[in-house]
Amino acid sequence: MKWTTRILFLLAISLSAALVAMVSGQKSRTPEATLEAIEATIDRDDFNHEAILRSLDGALSNARATGETELQAKALSLRGDVLYKIGAYEDSIRDFDEVSALQGSPDEELLIKMAEAHVRAGDPESGQRRIETLLSVNPESAPGLVQQGRLHQSSAKKLTDECEEAMSKIMPHAEAQRAAAIVDRLTAQDLLDPRRAGQVSTLREFFTEADGERLTRILVLCDDASVYNRKARDSYERSFEYSADPLGTYEYITLLIRAQRPEHALRFGAQARKHRPVLGHHP
């Protein structure tokens, strides 16, 4: 056995032993301590998902048997986090929903988690409803407004993807790529942006007369996506009244660049670096 292989082998044994010790040691811990240990473990990326899920299943069963709702909510929340990390988004949403039912009132962080899980599961519309619930309780939630903007962008992307799929069926790959770049600009620009007329004219050149119906459908999708992206910008702008959230700032600047407004993106970026609520920034 080569020394590098031996070292890797020993490391693997050490990690496995540590995990086994943690799981087996849970029997002598209080339920609260067990869940705290699991929470610390899942903050890392190298944990054994299956072992942790088994431990959480056991903790949840015990909490349900004793009727301890606080422990049930904690175990469900942690299991939802793990399920989200492994891509089981619908299962994670079910756990988060149960947490919400146990808590009896909307939780801002939990609603944002559920909204993100809906997006990952390909259902931004359901995610939007979660954020609407959050904003009905706290309309000044900067994280909620940022998530709302991202959900609008996700809805726009679904429409953009549909456009690209339609074009790929009738165009050579290189032409479809160029047409997709035009669609990307169209969907990022406002409907009343005068530059859109030139973009539409250029896009028409990729289609024959026989493709007229398909082109009409693509332009309708582009308009709908443009509305969603405008809503996204509105949400980001509202969030900046309360916090210069890094994610919201990034997404907002990206939309401006996609819309071919680099000068506004640079100006806004300079304001955002001041690390305070960004007021009066509108281009």
Please say if the pLDDT value at position 156 is more than 50: yes
Q: Which long-range contacts (CB under 8 A, 24 or more apart) does 82-87 make?
A: 82/42, 82/49, 82/52, 82/53, 82/56, 83/53, 84/113, 84/116, 84/117, 84/120, 85/42, 85/49, 86/49, 87/120
Contact 95, 79 (CB under 8 A): yes
**Quick count: other Cβ atoms within 10 Å of Cβ 130?**
27
pLDDT in tens, 89-118: 999 999 999 999 998 877 899 999 999 999
Model pTM? 0.77
pLDDT in tens, 70-88: 999 999 999 999 999 999 9
List, in sequence order, the alpha helices (H) in the chain: 3-25, 31-42, 49-66, 69-85, 89-103, 108-120, 124-137, 142-168, 173-188, 196-204, 212-239, 246-258, 262-272
% of the chain beyond a pLDDT of 90: 67
Please say if the pLDDT value at position 137 is more than 80: yes
In this predicted structure, what is the pLDDT of residue 4? 52
